[in-house]
Structure 1
Amino acid sequence: MTHDDTPGDRRGFLKCMAWAGTGALFTVSGGLASSIGLDQAVAAPAKAQGFTFLQISDSHVGFNKPANPDAKATYQEAVSKILSLPQKPDFILHTGDITQLSKDQEFDDADQIIKQVGLPVFHVPGEHDMLDEGAGKAYLDRFGKETKGAGWYSFDHKGVHFVALINVVNLKAGGMGSLGADQLEWLEKDLSGRPSSQPIVVFAHIPLWTVYADWGWGTDDAAQALSYLKRFGSVTVLNGHIHQITQKVEGNIAFHTARSTAFPQPVGGQGPSPGPLKVPTEQLRSMLGITTATFVRGREPIALVDQTLAT
């Protein structure tokens, strides 16, 4: 899959990001990426320069358990937030678990909601999108027609190179994610020949660093993939899966997870297992709030400021 635009300044670096349970909004200008929370963008939009993109994750359309009786409704709330932006992002990244059970109706419902935004949407699957009898065929039929292997691909947008990785194939309950030899070989070739000054954004479902191994919150062969990324001056890795914001900076690589639009999960190890975390109804949207993260070249500590949906 490709999505090419006129290259921008490739000398820049990713600078700032905003994180949200409803999404994360990024702006890129002259190779510089900065961000604002969605609520901030509604109240006082920045002057239009460069481009913006937005991340949504773990919508779990079809989920209707006590942790959230209607995940479809909260996904609609996320999209309504995007629609309220006076300056629309160029595109959206969805980092997996679009659906709860990979059912056609769930995919249809999710499609109808996100199409309201009228923007390109780039997907990677979560393990919940691979539960059909074809082990992901339903997902690939919709979103993978121009992808490689199990659905990996890359595209360029105004000087930034985006790489979509798949680490949920044949995932066992509680097991670590895996990229596999074929995808790793493709990734090495995809990155070869690119200038080390070009900003890289990688997005996948399961974290590419080990957040909590006992719950499978990591990717067992991620080290090989990350070795191909170390020569680049600015690398940002986005993922979902764990339904909470966490971050790590390792050299020039900054890792960030996004909250779900459906329900929270417990912090790793704080409970017998991962899964939907039931909170009082009045607290749910505060668990799906907005967090702003600011960093420079992935080398400085990230400063976090939370802005919840409840406010």
Structure 2
Amino acid sequence: MMDRREFFGAGATGLATVAGARLGLNLPERKRVLRIAHLTDMHVQPEKGAQAGFEKGLEACQSQSPDLIFCGGDLIMDALGTDLGRAQKQWDLFTAGVKASAGVPVRYALGNHDVWGWNNIDKHKDHALFGKQHAQDQLELASPYYSFTQAGWRIIVLDSTHRKLDGSGGYTARLDDGQFEWLSDTLAGTPKDQPVLVLSHIPIFCACAFLDGDNEKSGNWQVPGAWMHIDVRRIKDLFLKHPNVKLALSGHIHLADRVDYLGVSYFCNGAVSGGWWGGKYQEFGNGYAIVDLFDDGSFENKYMEYAWTPKA
């Protein structure tokens, strides 16, 4: 079996050859073992008909008969800068939407807007629910990062959102040292022949972040550390040691793309809320992805939009 460097050297011709060889040798067809609906950036709030739009997204994705739903972060409009009452109201709407419309199991990742109080640190820092605890309680998560095995795949859910190293308000996309060590141990403990999917809210690696800003005005390409993982180098280096890491899913940017790099496919899968429930964001409307996982470690990711009329 060629390693990932040889694979990328083979190019498109090699891909066609592999496909032809499968047909010519009459090899067994791969079997789909898991279908996932990946919904991210719902930004549920009392305004703009967001709850109804979210429920319509849940119904639309389930017309594709998924086995599992990923809710990939920024589940509510914002808790960073709100009081606890406003945050709770948004969570009540979100959880009601899941209960009303999700007919299959749901797994959650936390997004930056799900974290309570970080924009008012001095006011809220001593509260028991400060930071991620409030969101974890709503979603019944013992930890903001975790892993599980389903249908022969290891699925790893990461926590992308961390306070800036200088302790100021806002956040940076990264893994703290404890979580990185956990990720390293988790991959080391995964059988080499077991394929791995990674889910994070903020992209580990993406291209569309380059279009999320007015780089033309500055004259430089600038991707802030809040838009893409600032620690992508060490995560990339870790993945390179584990060729069974196949794909990484994310959201956050409200745009959709695919980046293939060193054997891992990174998918940024748009936003259920589109342009925060105000229509399209750039070229992308309200959407989600259907991710099919196969028994041979292969996969397919298809981004799909659904019709939604913005509300006043």
Equivalent AA in structure 1 for residue 57 of structure 2: A
Task: For structure 2, list consecutive stretches of 5 or more residues without a partner in the other structure.
Answer: 1-27, 80-86, 118-123, 125-129, 211-221
Distance change (3 Å), C-alpha of 1:221 and 1:160: same
Please give the alpha-carbon distance, in whole angstroms, between the structure 1 residues aligned to 2:40 and 2:203. 12
Give the superposition deviation at 1:128. 0.7
Does the Cα contact within 8 Å between 1:126 and 1:205 map onto a contact in 2?
yes
What residue in structure 1 maps to residue 232 of structure 2? Answer: 222
Pairing partner for 2:204 from 202, 208, 228? 208
Higher helix share: 2
Give the superposition deviation at 1:204. 0.6
For these two proteins, the number of residue pairs brought into alignment is 243
Please give the alpha-carbon distance, in whole angstroms, between the structure 2 residues aligned to 1:184 and 1:235. 18
Distance change (3 Å), C-alpha of 1:203 and 1:294: closer
Equivalent AA in structure 2 for residue 225 of structure 1: I
The equivalences for 1:82-231 within 5 A come to 82-85=61-64, 88-102=65-79, 103-115=87-99, 116-132=101-117, 133=124, 134-143=130-139, 145-147=141-143, 151-170=144-163, 176-209=172-205, 211-212=209-210, 213-215=222-224, 216-230=226-240, 231=242
TM-score of the superposed pair, with normalisation by structure 1: 0.67
The equivalences for 1:219-258 within 5 A come to 219-230=229-240, 231-258=242-269
Secondary structure in 1 matching 2:182: helix
Does the Cα contact within 8 Å between 1:199 and 1:235 map onto a contact in 2?
yes
Distance change (3 Å), C-alpha of 1:57 and 1:170: same
Distance change (3 Å), C-alpha of 1:60 and 1:152: same
Distance change (3 Å), C-alpha of 1:73 and 1:169: same
Secondary structure in 2 matching 1:161: strand
Distance change (3 Å), C-alpha of 1:217 and 1:63: farther
Distance change (3 Å), C-alpha of 1:173 and 1:292: farther
Give the superposition deviation at 1:99. 0.5
Task: For structure 1, list consecutive stretches of 5 or more residues without a partner in the other structure.
Answer: 1-29, 34-48, 265-275
Does the Cα contact within 8 Å between 1:252 and 1:298 map onto a contact in 2?
no
Please give the alpha-carbon distance, in whole angstroms, between the structure 1 residues aligned to 2:292 and 2:63. 23
What residue in structure 2 maps to residue 56 of structure 1? Answer: 39
Please give the alpha-carbon distance, in whole angstroms, between the structure 1 residues aligned to 2:45 and 2:249. 24
Point out 4+ residue stretches in structure 1 off by more than 6 angstroms: 283-286, 290-299
Secondary structure in 1 matching 2:267: strand
Please give the alpha-carbon distance, in whole angstroms, between the structure 2 residues aligned to 1:306 and 1:236. 15
Greater shift in the superposed pair: 166-175 or 254-263: 166-175
Does the Cα contact within 8 Å between 2:43 and 2:75 map onto a contact in 1?
yes
Secondary structure in 1 matching 2:260: strand
Identity %: 21
Secondary structure in 2 matching 1:118: coil
Secondary structure in 1 matching 2:256: coil
Does the Cα contact within 8 Å between 1:285 and 1:310 map onto a contact in 2?
no
CA RMSD of aligned residues (A): 3.7
Give the superposition deviation at 1:182. 0.5
Please give the alpha-carbon distance, in whole angstroms, between the structure 1 residues aligned to 2:152 and 2:297. 18
Answering whether residue 49 of structure 2 is matched by residue 70 of structure 1, we say: yes
Equivalent AA in structure 1 for residue 90 of structure 2: E
Distance change (3 Å), C-alpha of 1:159 and 1:305: closer
Give the superposition deviation at 1:288. 1.8
Distance change (3 Å), C-alpha of 1:127 and 1:191: same
Give the superposition deviation at 1:251. 1.7
Does the Cα contact within 8 Å between 1:233 and 1:252 map onto a contact in 2?
no
- Deviation per residue, 1:25-62 (Å, 9 max, x gap): xxxxx9957xxxxxxxxxxxxxxx52212111000001
Distance change (3 Å), C-alpha of 1:246 and 1:277: farther
Secondary structure in 2 matching 1:246: strand
Does the Cα contact within 8 Å between 1:124 and 1:164 map onto a contact in 2?
yes
Does the Cα contact within 8 Å between 1:207 and 1:239 map onto a contact in 2?
yes
The equivalences for 1:24-63 within 5 A come to 50-62=33-45
Distance change (3 Å), C-alpha of 1:108 and 1:310: closer
